[in-house]
Amino acid sequence: MCVHRDARGYVRYRCGLTNTIQDVLRQRPGWVEVKDDGEWDFNWCDVGWLRENFDHSYMEEHVRICHFRNHYELTHKNLMVKNLKRYRKTLEREAGRLEAAKCDFFPRTFVLPSEYPLFVEEFKRSPGNTWIMKPVARSQGKGIFLFRKLKDIIDWKKNGSRLEDQRDENQVERYVAQRYIENPYLISGRKFDLRVYVLVTSYVPLKAWLYRDGFARFSGTRFSLSSIDDQYVHLTNVAVQKTAPDYDPEKGCKWQLQKLRRYLTAKHGAETVETLFRDIDNIFIRSLQSVQKVFINDKHCFELYGYDILLDEDLKPWLIEVNASPSLTASSQEDYEMKYRLLEDTLNVVDMEGRLSGREKRVGGYDLMWNDGPVYREDFSLDSLGSTCFTANTHLGCVNDRKKHLGQLKAFSGQKRA
């Protein structure tokens, strides 16, 4: 059934955030903000509100909300790894090792304290390697540290693993211990990772869109394994980097993905870069498939994920984590404009106004990459017809002529669907 404005002719929205999304919603024609206790058609909430209110809210057919109720199956670091490991075993059993190997894009990971004995065994098998500890449900680099000695973990278990706001002495915050990528791809001697946006509008069937824009987040300090205690070297989170003594807010620490793709193409060639971005596409699809059977699908829900991808020196992409609430606060004017376009197009895909036919492969800066199966480009060459590989309908880091495309959409979408 079509989602559309009712007889009132406007969309009532509620927004629990005060950053870029609030600006986008306020400036959207025909949308009206309601108070917290008012009835709404669209709700951009934080996960705290969702946890407290979702099960007590009655939602009519047309209503939409920006999270799935168990979003944490993919966005909590421990559950993401658990689901990926289970999915890889299923693939190996049902499709063989070659297919299962396509899931080898996340570092060796253990959940602590529950998998501590397994971790110790692995640690002793590879002495001298660097590991990274991360709390499973925190963000912005909080609580993360690197280590090479088991003593550091023994001290952590004794002193540092208690929840900050705990009341029960036996309550321990869960962490993941992960093999650190010691050979990251560097630009000007600095480490970086990619923030990429994926929009899921359904899990049954799986329907996922990939945004063309995104950015690379750089460390402000040259990379070195000799200083594992220096967070400015190893953590690329903007929340961390902007606290550095020499951080320049005018310059920032980001590259747009178009700039990064041009750089990599000039250095390594178009074919190598196409392979890299195809491998990144594989990460998106496999990670979503890994949680598809455990997700509580709800036609009222959608999710805008922020994927964090790290490249190593061999141009292999690694999945670091997936964020259910990627930061929408801008760190510069360029960043604000990119996030504004992203959010505007997110609303265009969710389509509360009912302007779309449902058959679109592109909406603004979003390209449909999966719709109960792979989606292919319409402009693939005749050469590909004779091969077993079609070109995926993804354009990450490519030109985003979204205004032109939206104009074309309006031209043929005509009246709202009945």
- pLDDT in single tens digits along all 418 residues of the chain: 344 445 567 899 999 998 999 999 999 999 999 987 789 999 999 988 998 988 888 889 999 999 999 999 999 999 999 999 999 999 999 999 999 999 999 999 999 888 999 999 999 998 889 999 988 876 656 778 899 988 888 777 666 554 444 434 445 678 899 999 999 999 999 999 999 999 999 999 999 999 999 999 998 889 899 888 777 778 777 666 655 556 566 565 899 999 999 999 999 999 999 999 999 999 999 999 999 999 999 999 999 999 999 999 999 999 999 999 898 988 889 999 999 999 999 999 999 999 999 999 999 999 999 999 999 987 555 454 444 456 899 999 999 999 999 988 864 444 443 3
> Which residue, 203, 371, 207, is CA-closest to 298?
203
> Which residue, 150, 270, 212, is CA-closest to 393?
212
Provide the residue type at 387 as one letter.
S
Q: Strand, coil or helix: what is 376?
A: strand
> Which residue, 349, 373, 350, is CA-closest to 362?
349
pTM over 0.85: yes
